[in-house]
Amino acid sequence: PLMMHQHHPRAVEAATKYFLTQAAAAAMLLFTATTNAYLTGQWDIQQMHHPLSTTIMTLALALKIGLAPLHAWLPEVLQGLDLTTGLILSTWQKLAPFAILLQLPPTNGTALIALGMLSILIGGWGGLNQTQLRKILAYSSIAHLGWMVLILHFCPNLTILALITYLVMTFSAFLTFKLNKALTINMLASSWTKAPMLTSLAPLILLSLAGLPPLTGFMPKWLILQELTKQDLPLAATLAALSALLSLYFYLRLSYAMALTMSPNNIIGMTPWRLQT
């Protein structure tokens, strides 16, 4: 209902895609629960030690939150929604699947590392070619979820820290774009005329999402890389750090468009701000 309240064909399409995806994932979860009960006689999530059950459960939850390679629905759905509903989809909707992922017994570490690395790579590459802010935020979400899942097997507390940091930063980014009524990169160029103070602070939010060192988003990434190195996974840590540079490019692009670009011939857009002073 939240997705379709606009009564727009694109919103209806997004809601249908989301419903079909989540219904398929829910059916997989139910199938996993019954399979595990058949194989082990246990209905409890924390007693799910059979490799078949844990693998299907992990894939079902990956489909629910939009991890690569099961991510294709997320950018398409987010693009069809307004920014408020997109905010709910990017934040609140991640909590329930992560609550189940955190309770799974640590038997499928290789699958989680593979999903995490693929998500970080695809989240970086996918966002490079986009001009729509909602699709950029969708690929950003995929990359951040990859970081969380990468470390889930070794240190669940770090996953929770990364998730909380991601929720706060994504919440801020969506609200910034909503206040500026911006849907594309070009629309960011005139945002300083609507909210000059916010426009000067917004790059800090975007660069924090990118994980630049002095800002908040750097902390979870640094701790995750440190933990991966301690677990004798230097190759995974190196690939994750290099893939973060891909995300950094499109965040810098947004920051540049927002803070360092003036929209040409925007006399009408400048008028409200001038009249306020």
Task: Say what the pTM is.
Answer: 0.90
Q: How far apart are CA 90 and CA 74, in angstroms?
A: 9
Is residue 194 scored above 80 in pLDDT?
Answer: no
Q: How far apart are CA 108 and CA 55, in angstroms?
A: 7
Integer-rounded Cα Rg, in Å, for the chain is 20
Is residue 261 scored above 80 in pLDDT?
Answer: no
Res. 270 pLDDT band, cuts 50 70 90: low
Q: Which of 41-55, 127-141, 258-272 has the lowest mean pLDDT?
A: 258-272
The angle, 0 to 180 degrees and rounded to 10, between the axes of the packed helices 133-152 and 234-259 is 160
List C-alpha distances in Å: 239 to 116, 160, 234, 242, 256.
11, 22, 9, 5, 26
In DSSP notation, 63-118 reads HHHT-TTS-THHHHHHHTS-HHHHHHHHTGGGHHHHHHHHHS-S--HHHHHHHHHH
Is residue 266 scored above 70 in pLDDT?
Answer: no
Q: How far apart are CA 91 and CA 166, in angstroms?
A: 8
pLDDT in tens, 123-166: 999 999 899 999 999 999 999 999 999 999 999 999 999 999 99
Long-range CB pairs of 134-137 (<8 Å, 24+ gap) are 134/75, 134/78, 134/79, 134/81, 134/83, 134/86, 134/183, 135/75, 135/78, 135/79, 136/250, 136/254, 137/78, 137/86, 137/90, 137/170, 137/173, 137/174
What is the reported pLDDT for 265? 55
Per the document, the length of the chain is 277
Two tokens, residue 79: 């693009």
